[in-house]
Structure 1
């Protein structure tokens, strides 16, 4: 049985991803800090594991073949939480995945993680954390897919995508619902090679931009 560990399953993207995968009949291990945040999702195919990402969460990887790291410190926290979650927890997740022979690690990063110094000053701690977590994964020896979405919105799914960064900054956006769809696609279509992709709303189908 293939099982996917979703780290950050109660977050805004993680919860939609969890529901999408369960709707497709897939088996999910949902790693959350508080299981009550998933109380509205009922499925025999979901196993909930409670853990704090600042502690040891290696036990959650047992029996899984794929990992999606979609956890984040959130926009209202300080640089300390950014370091602990977006950097340290992400790096430890890659290490745990290596120990458990995970076949595919999918990381949700951010646009601008390739060049943090070029980002807005107030965003640089976050972008540095994402950059270093991505680099750690790239050098881990794991098969990986790194998704760097544009500015996130809560609009309804657009169902159209592009990996070409729009020249207009205001158009470099993507809905959280569409990111969840892209992640589900990555899980269902195991990567044949390591990939790093920026992702925005556009006019193409997922299979055109993710293959």
Structure 2
């Protein structure tokens, strides 16, 4: 059986993310953190928008590729440092993925589109970027909201939720309200978005 470029790219992305020295336990099993995130992103995309383009599918899997290689601590611990870290990460994820896609045999136009998506360009204007952002937000709300709630006070959490909500489309909002939250987290979300 000949492996498709998508199959090769997926294997290579998974192999990179499997090297994450940080682990996360989910349902009593330990996973490399970014490999688990990548799986969650892809599964959520397929559940939310099963006919997503191949470019969006790859961008979903590679969204945080090798994220541990650029530590937050290597930037000033203020808002400016945080924003610079986020920008550098986007470029790093896009470049790392581009090299993999070239190896997998994709054309340059396809690779450029995946980079565009990973760098989240034209949010709210580009359909693919918006779809990817919706999936990022849905994965955050379903799997990562709770750990944030443990770390931050209520007002800061409401601010984080509202910022997340404002990045999403109407379809994303509808999907977000179908996620099974704890009663306290659902209440927090409702307060944050004014429901």
Judge same fold: TM > 0.5, yes or no.
no
* Structure with higher strand content: 1
Q: Higher helix proportion, which one?
A: 2
- Higher-Rg structure is 2
TM-score (norm. length: structure 2): 0.30
Using the size of structure 1 for normalisation, the TM-score is 0.28
